[in-house]
Amino acid sequence: MRNFRKMMISGLAVAAAVLMLSGTAFADGVIIAPGVTIPSHDTSSMGPGPGGPGAGTAGTDTTANVSDGQQTEQQSGQPAEQTPAVPAETQPAAEAQGPAAAGTEAQQTGEQAQAAAATDEASLIAQSLQDQYRIFPTADPNIVISRGRKIDVTKPLLALTYDDGPQTAAGNRIIDAFDKYGQRTTFFMVGDRVPSRAAEVQRMAADGHELANHTYSHTYLNKVGAETIRSQVQKCNDVIEQTTGIRPRIMRLPGGNRNDTVIANVAMPIILWNVDTRDWDHRNTAKIVDAIMGKVKSGDVVLMHELYDATAAATEIIVPQLVEQGFQLVTVSELAALKGVELAAHKIYYSF
């Protein structure tokens, strides 16, 4: 703990005052950089909102109709190990005070300020795991705290995403791979699969990964009417919230399939992708790795599927390689926010 604390004390004395939690300093929509704000959408209303039919559909998309709906695995939910949240320092300055004869009053004050700064950073990291849609500024304009770790906004940011889960066997391997390197990912989940795999989904949330909506039954929404579209989206949000306490804020259309009725009735930001590994098709680890390594750039959104062992194996290979290359793996909501994009309902996004 002492070494950890020393690591955390890195010239952040000035940050102490900045980072003191006043209750108002980090309101929703907090500014993390000039022009960059974190949106706080209310996705509870499922009715058509601003934007209307066809809003945000510009852009070339040749990847619709992807058959990403294979759900043949028969894994039942298995208990997952809960990874504890980053512990908050609860004894500020206690070690820094030391014997009164150890230094001057000024030195003691400086040490206490450093300890306070470290304590505040640790508590912000812990708080960011609880308040997962907020990004917390630090005294360093290039560093923010989000979902339980620090992010350097000057480095490349990449969102790897996994559809069609939860699927406990591959899912826990994927979570392990991200957690091992302090990285984050996004799971677009099918609602009716969640209750029997609750422990895995709760682990995703506890570890800071993003829980996202992929409809309740993996329904191709272009094949159904407005009422079903709305219920498919809402029921998925409901079951994830009931399981974890966290309501998704983004969704992905099964197969990418849509029409004007779909766009008008999906009252959430719609996240597609700009890099397709086609893992559902070949289920080949080397091909998945090859589709990503050397081909991705900052702002990209990569499509994979949680269902396959080949995808889990590829994840175990690519996460350390991407980190070595300087990429920071972030959730889709983080990627949008850090790229200055305010996500809006009824709009489609491919990359940021």
Q: Is 282 a catalytic residue?
A: no
The answer to the question of residue 171 lying near Zn ion (CB under 5 A) is no
User: For residue 166, is the peptide bond before it cis, meaning its omega torsion is within 30 degrees of 0?
Assistant: yes
For the bound state, the minimum distance from the C-beta of residue 167 to Zn ion, rounded and expressed in Å, comes to 12
For the bound state, the minimum distance from the C-beta of residue 70 to Zn ion, rounded and expressed in Å, comes to 9
Identify the active-site residue in 41, 209, 214, 305.
305
The answer to the question of residue 210 lying near Zn ion (CB under 5 A) is no
The answer to the question of residue 256 lying near Zn ion (CB under 5 A) is no
Identify the active-site residue in 163, 164, 279, 300.
163
In our burial notation (b when 16+ CB lie closer than 10 A, e otherwise), range 239-262 reads bbeebbebbbbbbbbbbbebeebb
> What is d(CA 198, CA 6) in angstroms, rounded to the nearest whole number?
37
Q: Is 305 a catalytic residue?
A: yes
The answer to the question of residue 300 lying near Zn ion (CB under 5 A) is no
Site string for Zn ion, 32-71 (x = CB under 5 A): ------------------------------------x---
For the bound state, the minimum distance from the C-beta of residue 304 to Zn ion, rounded and expressed in Å, comes to 11
> What is d(CA 332, CA 317) in angstroms, rounded to the nearest whole number?
21
CA angle 177, 343, 18 (to 5 degrees): 75
For the bound state, the minimum distance from the C-beta of residue 71 to Zn ion, rounded and expressed in Å, comes to 9
By C-beta, is 253 or 318 nearer to Zn ion?
253
The answer to the question of residue 164 lying near Zn ion (CB under 5 A) is yes
Sheet order of strands, 149-152 included:
136-137, 143-146, 149-152
SS3 label, residue 61: coil
Phi (first) and psi of residue 189, to 5 degrees: -110, 150
Which residues are at the interface with Zn ion (CB under 5 A)?
68, 163-164, 254
Q: Catalytic positions, please?
A: 163, 305
